[in-house]
């Protein structure tokens, strides 16, 4: 039996109004054969987690440029744990200083992609690190 296609939710938490990068990565995921759900702009962590659970995704990619990454990204992983969905992997990307990455990883963010990371690299990372959930 063939494995199920990976389902990825791409989210834009907070008040960040720039979603070009999120749309580019969502398209790259789609072109790689993944099922993609894009939540749109101005989503709360609660909305993102609710959508991730309802859509039965395997992972969540969060795009953030606002500087609120140390608050919003860990909140998503916390809410997934509270809802019993901590098997949904979370990764992030955007304008995130290198010195903040260890804290984000300690909070449950699997990987952080900074500006200049190629879409091919991110797609390959997902292919190598995310498996369909049971």
Q: Which residue has the higher pLDDT, 55 or 134?
A: 55
Which residues 6+ apart lie within 8 Å of 79 measured at CB? 45, 46, 49
- State the average pLDDT for the chain: 96
Dihedral of alpha carbons 118, 120, 122, 125, sign = negative
User: Could you give all domains of the chain from N- to C-terminal order, each with its CATH number?
Assistant: 7-129 (3.40.50.280)
- 């990825």: which residue's tokens? 8
pLDDT tens figures, 54-89: 999 999 999 999 999 999 999 999 999 999 999 999
CB-CB contact of 76 with 13 (8 Å): yes
Contact between 34 and 126 (Cβ < 8 Å):
yes
pTM of the model: 0.96
Mean pLDDT, to the nearest integer, of 15-19? Answer: 89
The length of the chain in residues reads: 134
Q: Measured between alpha carbons, how far is 81 from 12 in angstroms, rounded to an integer?
A: 20
Per residue in 85-122, pLDDT (tens digit) is: 999 999 999 999 999 999 999 999 999 999 999 999 99
CA pair distance 20, 63, nearest whole angstrom: 10
């Amino acid at each position: 039996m063939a494995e199920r296609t990976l389902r990825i939710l791409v989210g834009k938490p907070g008040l960040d109004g720039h979603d070009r990068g999120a749309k580019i990565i969502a398209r790259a995921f789609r072109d790689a054969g993944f099922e993609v759900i894009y939540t749109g702009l101005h989503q709360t962590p609660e909305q993102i987690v609710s959508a991730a659970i309802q859509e039965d995704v395997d992972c969540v990619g969060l795009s953030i440029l606002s500087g609120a990454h140390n608050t919003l990204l860990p909140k998503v992983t916390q809410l997934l744990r509270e809802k019993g969905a901590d098997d949904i992997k979370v990764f992030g990307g955007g304008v995130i200083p290198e010195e903040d990455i260890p804290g984000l990883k300690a909070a449950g963010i699997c990987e952080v992609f900074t500006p200049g990371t190629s879409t091919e690299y991110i797609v390959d990372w997902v292919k190598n690190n995310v498996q369909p959930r049971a």
